[in-house]
Each structure stands twice: as C-alpha cells, then as structure tokens.
Structure 1
Amino acid sequence: MSLPAVTPDWAFEREHWRRGYFRVAGVDEAGRGAWAGPVTVAAVILPGLAQDYPFRDSKQLTGAQREDYAAEVRRVAVAYAVEHAFPDEIDRLNILGATHAAAARALARLSVAPQALITDYLKLRTDLPLLAPPKADALSYSVAAASLLAKTERDALMLELDRQYPDYGFAAHKGYGAPAHRAALQELGVSPVHRRSYAPIRALLEAPAPLFTEPLFSEDK
C-alpha cells in the first residue's frame, strides 16, 4: 500500500509558533464509534524542526505501516502519553465526556508541559491556546502522530480483550458494529466490555426475555 496523496504539514503548528508557543501537543483519539472496549486518546509533542515525517492519519494506513510509524513517533517525540476511557466511564460520562477526560489525563502525563494544542475537531476545555480544525489527523504532523499512537495502542488492547472474550471477534472488528459483531451479540449477549449506553447494546439489554416453551422441570421428578 502506497502512502496517501494528502500528506500532513506544519501549517497549524506554525500558527502557534508565530505566537511564541513552541511546545505544541497534537491530540487524537481512536474508538469513539465502537460498541465495545475503550476510547483511547494520545497526546504527542514533536520536535519543532519542521522536518518531514512519514506520519499519516492512521485510518489511511495498513496495520504494518501504523506499527512502524508509531514506533517512529515514540523514537522522535519530545513527549507522548496515551490514556484509555473504559466502558464504565463512557457510560457514566457519555462518549464525548469520556474522550475529554482521557485527553486531560494524557496531557497531564506528558513529561514536558505543552504550551498549545492541536486536535482533530475535539474542542477541549482548556486554558491553553487550541486549534481544532476538522481532519487535522490528515493535515497536521502532530495530530497524525497522536492518531498513530491512539490507534495502535487501542488495537493492542482489543487483541487482549479478544483473548479474554474470544467468541466476539474483537481481534477482527475492534469492537465496531460489524455484521459478525452483531451476530455474536445476538448469540452470546452483552459482555462486560460493551458500552451499555450505546443504542444497539442498550436495545439488547432492554429486550424482553424469551418465554419458556418447555417446562422448567420434568413432571416425573
């Protein structure tokens, strides 16, 4: 698979640099639309050298490319951190609130404090200067780097959940609403790692129990 034609650049970072903010953190998430597992948020500060990197929006890459480029992010980053919000937090706060909470934790864990932020249209509640353009994961090197870490770390966690709950197919669909996932839910019911507040899961939980068509006990016992 060749690299996509649309490549990131430093245009959004330069807007912060011109204002004297040189430690710019890109922030991105993975898993907001999934029915199971966490939403994962990464924050990355890259060196402000305006050099080219192979980083791209993780959705445009193969799994092997994502792993290779995520390793490069970890190698070159000034600082990075990844945080998860698990289904209980998602159900309690809603998906946007849980994403904000995970982003706040990731930013707080950075070993170097950021001076400004760029997100992929995630309008964080923050006192730091924030740019939140749409499609920033495809346009900003910092956000693309964060998307790589968020995606690869969430995928690794979903593989672990697949080992714990092997019949749901998490390794293949990563918790999204694929036909195989729907079929597994119909057969097996809802697992502890499903998001109970999501409409398809809530509908299963609220469905009436099937009526027994057989006696509970044999009459000759």
Structure 2
Amino acid sequence: MTIKEVKELLAGNPTPDQLAALASDPRTGVQKLLLAYQRRMLKLKKKQQDFAARFEYEKRFWADGKVVAGIDEVGRGPLAGPIVTCAVILDENFDLLDVNDSKKLTPKRRRELYPQILAKAVDVSIGVGSPALIDRINVGQADLLAMKQAVEGLKNMPDELLVDAMKIPIAIPQTKLIKGDSKSNSIAAASIVAKVFRDNLMDDYAKLYPAYNFNKNAGYGTADHLAALKEFGPTPIHRKTFAPVSDFY
C-alpha cells in the first residue's frame, strides 16, 4: 500500500488484521500514521466513556420506565435581553458525543450541535423571562418562572426533572445537580439549545440597536456596551433594575 492508501484506510474502519499488518510495516510514514490513528481512537474511547457517564442519572430513571427532562438557563447576568431557559428530553438512542457543558464548546461547535440536538431529542421546549419580568420580580424569580414555562411547553410531560442546582416551582420530582451541565447529557443539551437560541435572539436585537454590539457581547456589560449605554442611554430591552442601567431612571 502507498502512504496515501494507508492514510485513507486509517481514516475509515480498519480491521484488526489490517492494523496488525500496518504495525509490522517498517516505513516511518506508516508508523506515524498508525500512531496518530491510535491516539485518535484513545481520544474517541475517552469521549465515549465520558458521554456514557453523563447518562448515569437518566439511566436510573429510564430503568423504571420514567421520562426524564434536563433543564438549563442562560442570561442571568447581562444588562440587556431576556433570560432563556430550555427543557430537553432525550432517550437511549441519543448519540451526539460532543454534547457537553455549553461553556466548554466553541460558539461554532454549539451552533453546529443546535440543529442536531433538535433533530435527535425526543422533545425540546424554550422558556423566556423578559427584561420587564426581570425588573418586576427580580432575576432569580424570573429564571424560575422561565424554567417552569419551558417544562410546561414540552409535549411529553416528564416524570422527573434534572436541574442545574435550582428548584423549579412545578409539581414534578426534581434532582438537583451542581454543575449539572457537565454531569447530565440532558442538561448539557438544554444548555446548548438555550445558549444558541439566546445568542440568535441577541443577534437580531443587534440589528435593531447596532450601537450596542449585542451580537458580540450578548447584552453583557462589556466596555463597548457600557460606552454605548453612556452615549445613547438604555434601549427597551435593557434591564432597568440592573446597575448601571438603573442610573438612567
């Protein structure tokens, strides 16, 4: 085999006999390709093991025939824009290995996974806590109501909720997990969908209010955002109760 043919073989699914033959090939180029393949397989195995571990909690409930939803939110800290929450129901056929805590993924990878999660999940629902709601009842309570909204929007009502360290005001049993988006694939999937959904929303707001660069700062208090706020004042999507926005009222 030529080096090019070896490379093509290792890019696919070589058999044990083929790998054994390559291991005895004296060419340096072949050995380098084989070593790279072995490293790639070790990395894949670790990813598969971690993915399986993040289904630990779901499997406990699946074993009893229960439907489990993972819940997460994004947007508690920004000065502008809503809180967005998401509820996701997965089953044992879900196989997107890269689904993990959204903060561990690049924006590009999150956007790639977003439609794949929507396609492979059993059910997905979004909840939104508007800036006006946040100002009226505070960000923590708005977050809980938006989570409740997301759960109630599911077509398949779950028997159990996996929640990232929150207690949602709804009569469904809940398991609270600290840093749940790194412990549960359901919560991780919800975190990705919520993040991309909110980012897309802030991209749209950036077109309405271009001076604030919402497409780059997502409403957080970055230097460019604060400079625009000082020059032009708050927009209708700013949170009036959040400093320094509150200084304008």
- TM class, shorter-length: 0.7 to 0.9
Contact kept? 1:120, 1:132, Cα under 8 Å: yes
Contact kept? 1:22, 1:48, Cα under 8 Å: no
Deviation at 1:15, TM superposition (A): 3.7
In structure 1, C-alpha distance between the alignment counterparts of 2:239 and 2:163, rounded to whole Å: 24
Q: Show the counterpart of 1:76.
A: 120
Structure 1 unmatched ranges of 5 or more = 207-221
Contact kept? 1:21, 1:115, Cα under 8 Å: no
Considering fraction of residues, name the structure with more helix: 2
Change in 2 beyond 3 A, CA 1:154/1:52: closer
1:13 and 2:58 matched: yes
Deviation at 1:200, TM superposition (A): 2.1
Q: How many residues align?
A: 203
In structure 2, C-alpha distance between the alignment counterparts of 1:143 and 1:33, rounded to whole Å: 20
Q: Show the counterpart of 2:109.
A: 65
Identity %: 35
1:24-43 paired onto structure 2 within 5 Å: 24-43=68-87
In structure 2, C-alpha distance between the alignment counterparts of 1:190 and 1:7, rounded to whole Å: 44
1:110-125 paired onto structure 2 within 5 Å: 110-125=154-169
Structure 1 moving runs of 4+ over 4 Å: 2-8, 49-52
1:185 and 2:205 matched: no
CA RMSD of aligned residues (A): 2.2
Name the stretch that deviates more: 51-60 or 94-103.
51-60
TM-score by length of 1: 0.85
Q: Matched residue of 1:199: which SS? A: coil
Q: Show the counterpart of 2:67.
A: 23
Deviation at 1:51, TM superposition (A): 5.2
Name the stretch that deviates more: 26-35 or 2-11.
2-11
TM-score by length of 2: 0.76
In structure 1, C-alpha distance between the alignment counterparts of 2:50 and 2:135, rounded to whole Å: 36
Q: Show the counterpart of 1:205.
A: 248
Q: Letter of the aligned partner of 1:46 in structure 2?
A: L
Name the stretch that deviates more: 82-91 or 151-160.
82-91
Deviation at 1:50, TM superposition (A): 7.4
In structure 1, C-alpha distance between the alignment counterparts of 2:102 and 2:74, rounded to whole Å: 9
Name the stretch that deviates more: 159-168 or 191-200.
191-200
Q: Show the counterpart of 1:164.
A: 208
Deviation at 1:125, TM superposition (A): 2.0
Deviation at 1:16, TM superposition (A): 3.0
Deviation at 1:13, TM superposition (A): 1.7
Q: Letter of the aligned partner of 1:198 in structure 2?
A: F
Change in 2 beyond 3 A, CA 1:40/1:21: farther
In structure 2, C-alpha distance between the alignment counterparts of 1:98 and 1:23, rounded to whole Å: 26
